[in-house]
Amino acid sequence: MTQISPDLPIIGFAAWSGTGKTTLLEQLIPELTGRGLRLAVLKHAHHDFDLDQPGKDSWRLRKAGASQVLIASSRRHAHLTETPQGEAPLGELLAKLDRRALDLILVEGFKHDPIPKIALHRAALGKPLPEVRPEDLLAVASDVPLELPVPLLPLNEVAAIADFIEAHLAAPTRAESGCDALSPAFLSVEQARERILKALTPHPRQQTLPLAQCLGRVLAASLTSPVNVPPHANSAMDGYGLCGTDLACGQWRLMGEVLAGHPSSLQLAPGEAVRIMTGAPLPAGVDTVVMREQAIEEAGMVRFTAPLKRGQNVRQAGEDLAAGAIAIPAATRLGAPELGLAASLGYPELTVLAPLRVALFSTGDEVQAPGEPLRPGAIYDSNRFTLRALIERAGGEVVDLGILPDNQAMMESVLQQAAAECDLVLSSGGVSVGNADYIRDALEKLGAVAFWRIQMRPGRPLAFGKLGETPFFGLPGNPVAAVVCFLQFVLPALHALEGRN
């Protein structure tokens, strides 16, 4: 039996001859294409069927001995292949389809091949249901009521069958494809991110910390300035302060010196100037500063060698930040500049978001912790260390649960405990097809699965759901895919849970 591993959805139709498979497909195809699906149909025919007609050029070329003939026109092309060695297997035939232009493949016949199938039953034929492996049977379309362990569809209601197919395509699936094609039926990155964010409810917790402990934390509320910055008009450089209405004097009498941090009681009159240092408050009457390099001082007098402009080299009170203005917006991650600014405004402590607690674990009997001799067939666990660093860089607090073996009961127990104690649960491995992948089974038992396949490479398999109210992410085991999925989906989710945009 051919092993089928499709890279986009396939649905087969199994029925006895006379049930009306082709008639049903003839009605179903326009119904599905009208809903935006791009379809291919693969039909099994009798051994001696022929699409060609004697006398046609293509027929003559085949009869002349060509084992393959490709006929092409402006509207369509056909590839005719002779198979005297026997019938081509289904997998080989599926490989000939252009998957880039398809969302779904419908198959008529091939009832013994392992693909999902809808069985058709017409009571008037007097025959039992067609033989389909239980694991392949999606539903039965019948014109009479039947007691079945699978959905029963009305055989003569094409719209209802189309509804079932649409729902099947939208549902999570265990069938993961090869790495060479992306089906348009998968969720786009944008669609997946939107669904994740809509499913999340922000629940930020706050804490107040000393300023020295706030590096890397997220500010909980906007920080306003209690004072003007600078608090008073001051000199922007070392030089000489004078009155801007007295610029034509020619020379000025020096009346003293003003240092930073030492306000002066001087009151300058016309024709008077004062030495002033950078950052020193301007005395009454001073609104202009001339830099020292442009001055000549002699016998208690000073004159200047450059043109003067009123207000030059002066920083006004509140020029950088006015009292009451927002100094640091809420949701800002605090770095060195922000901490320095907060200190300059006199804040000894800040209210920040408490870090999100993220439960992190890897899965799989094949995964082994670094530092131990590597067992045959095992690999070292790199994802847990990479993801831990990414979580901590994002401001999260990691609850490291280590490596969980492939054990269903243990998986369920850990998920329950992690969901109760943490804000988010994150695993790597166990989200693609495999006989020992238990994440999906446990998640479906304990919570609700949102989606599993993303139109992205690397990073196509992704599990997202909720354990109660706690979000769960199951990332791929491939290290690069795990990082890509974290950056595309988990990081925005962490921001959303903190109430950040």
pLDDT of residue 437: 53
Instruction: Give the integer Cα–Cα distance in Å for 93 and 106.
Output: 13
In contact, 485 and 476? CB cutoff 8 Å: yes
Strand extents, DSSP E, 443-489: 448-453, 461-467, 470-475
Task: Give a three-class secondary structure readout of 202-261.
Answer: CCCCEEEEEHHHCCCCEECCCEECCCCECCCCEECCCEEEECHHHCCCCCEEEEEEECCC
Print burial letters for 26-43: b (CB count within 10 Å at least 16), e (below 16).
Answer: eebbebbeeeebeebbbe
pLDDT of residue 1: 38
pLDDT of residue 434: 44
Which tokens hold the place of 116? 């999902």
In contact, 355 and 374? CB cutoff 8 Å: no
- Which domains does the chain possess? 10-175 (3.40.50.300), 219-227+321-353 (no CATH), 234-315 (2.170.190.11), 357-498 (3.40.980.10)
How far is the CA of 484 from the CAs of 5, 94, 156, 428, 488, in angstroms? Answer: 25, 30, 46, 12, 6
Instruction: Give the integer Cα–Cα distance in Å for 366 and 382.
Output: 12
In contact, 139 and 132? CB cutoff 8 Å: no
pLDDT of residue 84: 63
Angle at 398 between CA 396 and CA 400, to 5 degrees: 165
Which amino acid, 171? A
pLDDT of residue 252: 92
pLDDT of residue 501: 65
- End-to-end Cα, the chain, rounded Å: 53
Q: What is the mean pLDDT of each run of 10 residues along the chain (501 residues)?
A: 58 90 92 88 74 72 76 75 73 79 87 87 90 87 88 92 88 44 62 90 90 93 92 93 88 92 88 93 93 93 93 92 93 94 94 94 85 87 94 93 85 90 90 54 73 76 87 90 95 90 65
pLDDT of residue 109: 81
Taking the model in full, what pTM does it have?
0.54
Residue with tokens 């007609």, as numbered in its chain? 53
Instruction: Give the integer Cα–Cα distance in Å for 331 and 347.
Output: 17
pLDDT of residue 147: 85
SS3 call for 366: coil
pLDDT of residue 49: 63
